């Protein structure tokens, strides 16, 4: 399998190339540099492996939630490339990518929980709870956006790790949420290598979509729409 993954959903900008189980990645923290950096990263990765774009089997990207501008950048690039190459695209949750990073970094055990928090601005948090299953994060419930004081943990999990930039705001989280954490790492941001790892499994399961169906997931817009009168 030859899969190219992109992420521009946060201040990090990254591209990763997965070839038959071997991963290479370019990553840089550059809050305003996504447009400038992303395509050179892609070209470098392909050249380094001597791979032509036409040899790719699939593409993947972190579809959100995250920076609205960043999500549009990755979506536009992945759609353009995938359409031209006629390959499927695998959208991957940005929150799941960070959960996968946490699972590996902390060597979490089967059944351990991961609480991922991103700063959604406007006094809100992007939030999702995962449990480790066979080495992969499995979403419990739904991804959501809410006020910090409204956060809650999924039941049935006894060991928790909190990750993601949103944890810099942990002083505003409920005491029972912060008190349940064994570890907290507020430095983790989505990375294309973790997107690629999740996408590879999804691709093998036939969960790729056509380029036109590769859309960003904002969560906030979806919630606001559902709150409109009559919805």
For the chain, the domains span 2-94+190-226, 95-185
pLDDT digits (tens, 9 = 90+) for 40-85: 999 999 999 999 999 999 999 999 999 999 999 999 999 999 999 9
113-121 and 124-133 as β-strands: parallel, antiparallel, unpaired? antiparallel
Coil, helix or strand for 170? helix
Whether the full predicted model's pTM is greater than 0.85, yes or no, is: yes
Domains 2-94+190-226 and 95-185 share a fold: yes
Map tokens 């419930």 to a residue: 141
Q: How far apart are CA 58 and CA 33, in angstroms?
A: 25
Q: Using an 8 Å Cβ cutoff, are 156 and 111 in contact?
A: no
Q: Using an 8 Å Cβ cutoff, are 135 and 80 in contact?
A: no
Show the tokens assigned to 31.
Answer: 């809050």
Instruction: Give Cβ neighbours of residue 197 (< 8 Å, ≥ 6 apart).
Output: 18, 23, 100
pLDDT digits (tens, 9 = 90+) for 162-186: 999 999 999 999 999 999 999 999 9
Map tokens 């351990």 to a residue: 112
pLDDT given for residue 228 in this prediction: 34
**Phi, psi dihedrals of residue 173, rounded to the nearest 5°:** -80, 155
Q: Is the pLDDT of residue 229 over 60?
A: no
| Architecture of the domain delimited by 2-94+190-226 | 2-Layer Sandwich (3.30)
Write the class of the CATH domain 95-185.
alpha beta
């Amino acid at each position: 399998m030859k899969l190219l993954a992109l992420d521009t959903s946060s201040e990090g900008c990254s591209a990763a190339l997965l070839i038959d189980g071997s991963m290479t990645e370019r990553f840089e923290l550059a809050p305003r540099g996504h447009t400038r950096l992303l395509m050179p990263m892609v070209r470098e990765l392909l050249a380094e492996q001597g791979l032509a774009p036409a040899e790719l089997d699939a593409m993947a990207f972190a579809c959100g939630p995250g920076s609205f501008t960043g999500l549009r950048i990755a979506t536009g690039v992945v759609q353009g490339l995938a359409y031209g190459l006629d390959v499927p695209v695998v959208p991957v949750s940005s929150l799941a990518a960070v959960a996968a990073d946490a699972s590996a970094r902390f060597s979490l055990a089967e059944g351990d929980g991961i609480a991922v928090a991103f700063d959604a601005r406007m006094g809100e948090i992007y939030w999702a709870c995962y449990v480790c299953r066979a080495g992969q994060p499995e979403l419990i419930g739904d991804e959501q956006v809410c006020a910090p004081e409204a956060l809650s943990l999924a039941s049935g999990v006894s060991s928790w790790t909190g990750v993601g930039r949103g944890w810099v705001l942990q002083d505003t989280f409920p005491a029972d949420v912060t008190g349940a954490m064994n570890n907290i790492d507020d430095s983790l941001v989505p990375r294309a290598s973790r997107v690629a790892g999740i996408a590879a499994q999804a691709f093998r399961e036939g969960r790729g979509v056509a380029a036109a169906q590769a859309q960003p997931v904002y969560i906030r817009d979806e919630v606001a729409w559902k709150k409109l009168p009559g919805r």
